[in-house]
Amino acid sequence: MQFVSQAFVVFLPLAFVAYWVAGRLGGGATAQNVVLIAASYAFYAYWDVRLLWLLAAISVIGFVSGLLLERDSGPATRKAVLVTTLLLSLGILGFFKYFGFFLDSLTSALQGVGFSTPSYALNILLPLGLSFYTFQMLTYPLDVYRRQAHATRDAIAFLAFASFFAQLTAGPIGRARELLPQYQARRLFDDARARDGLRQVLWGLVKKVLVADNLAPLVDHAYGGYQSMHSLDLLVIAVFFAVQLYADFSGYSDMAIGLGKLFGLRLPTNFAYPYFSRSTAEFWRRWHMSFSFWIRDYVYIPLGGSRVRTPRRVFNVLVSFLCVGIWHGADWTFVVWGLLNGLYQIPGILLGRTTPRDTIAHGRLIPSLREAGAMLGTFLLAVLAWVFFRADSLAQAAGVLGRFFTSPGGGLETDYVPYLALCAALLVGEWLQREQPYTLRQLRRLPVPVRWASYCALLLTLLVLGAHGASPFVYVQF
């Protein structure tokens, strides 16, 4: 089931009413969690009921491992439990997501050196959201092992945490130590929070339906026929994809976080206006933040982080970004994309530059020339890397990049102008509200008539100009 679907329009009110009624009838947190689990499993079953066992298996592995790790056993036993948990969970993820890729790569490599090997075609169905809920679950045994969290015996609360439908298929990836306490306590309906959640859902819809879904057909068509396109048009298409991906994924995150507010839950922030970053390091502090921080805390820091000599730090960064690339997909394009983003970090490491932590042009409408230049340079580096992310193969990525520099001539396709205006409108709107958690947040301060006129105008725009059902959320395939 997608957020942007008729089925979800029916599903959400039913789940919402049942959830809050259960809480009011005296069932407390347990009753609310039971409703949430039932709703979440129904949500996932709508995609493919055959794969419900995977969600249940990952959840059970996590819950049982927490209980075993909480026991006062020796370090060797605890480490064995953690390693077993990681092998089971990542083994399931690896089989469904990467087994076919590695088999194809091995076959190609053997054939390349003269061995005659049969080609196998495995049609392994990739479960939606598997990477997301697997990594969210892994935060639990990892934190219990580190003594940063206590194991829970409340299986109902844990299953609700592991399966909440809003973040099930594309995050944000929450930490058990931050989310589990919310599920263990009874949630009380907060009218102001619910209204804020609806505003954030509306903004997510605008980004997804109005921006991302209108850009997607242009990008798909261009990548299918890039051989006949000129440099300028291809560059514009690359920018379109950068905006499409951001609007699509951050739109999903806004909707998920907003839905969490409707159910009295605080989900982690996932985007903080990444295209206004002044360096690639800052970009990764603002893009898919829940996953970036997961890699930082569970891969980069355990490798030694930045508390090592420069060569080892570079190695740690490259390994971390290799993991980022592999997590995103079973294809060499994602491996190259991840390593390229890792290479982007090396100049800053060698020069000893620190990552900016303030909002760009804080308190000012216009950035300085230096800030604008840094922001533009970072955006162009991201656009270049996104070519590998979008391409169907390394050959296609190389072909697109090659035509960037070898196919001058021809003016800008006039059909692209309205879409450039659409991208500019999104970025300008977000620039003006970049110090807010999301762009529509400030509408709450406007007079009621103006506020509702704004809501109606946005909804009418979605109905008239939105590309309804044009494409699924990009990140559900990861």
- Structural contact between residues 133 and 163, judged by C-beta atoms closer than 8 angstroms: yes
Candidates 141, 174, 142; CA nearest to 60 is 141
For residue 172, whether the previous peptide bond is cis, meaning omega lies within 30 degrees of 0, is yes
Cα dihedral 382/383/385/391 (nearest 10): 150
The crossing angle, in degrees rounded to 10, of helices 369-390 and 394-406 is 140
DSSP string, 135-190: HHHHHHHHHHHTTSS-----HHHHHHHHH-HHHHTT-----HHHHHHHHHS-----
Residue 221 annotated as catalytic: no
**What 3-state class would DSSP assign to 362?**
coil
Nearest-angstrom CA–CA distance, 92 and 94: 5
Q: Provide the H-helix boundaries in 296-393.
A: 310-328, 332-351, 369-390
DSSP symbol at 415:
G
Nearest-angstrom CA–CA distance, 366 and 432: 10
Of residues 288, 328, 362, 468, which has the active-site annotation?
A: 328
**What 3-state class would DSSP assign to 397?**
helix
- CA dist 334 → 12, 101, 321, 322, 330 (Å): 34, 12, 10, 9, 7
- Structural contact between residues 70 and 144, judged by C-beta atoms closer than 8 angstroms: yes
Nearest-angstrom CA–CA distance, 423 and 440: 17
Question: 284 CB contacts (<8 Å, ≥6 apart)?
Answer: 292, 341
Token look-up 């390994």 returns: 319
Q: How far is CA 126 from the centre of its chain?
A: 17
Nearest-angstrom CA–CA distance, 219 and 237: 6
Candidates 182, 176, 126; CA nearest to 149 is 176
- Structural contact between residues 360 and 375, judged by C-beta atoms closer than 8 angstroms: yes
Q: Which residues are catalytic?
A: 328
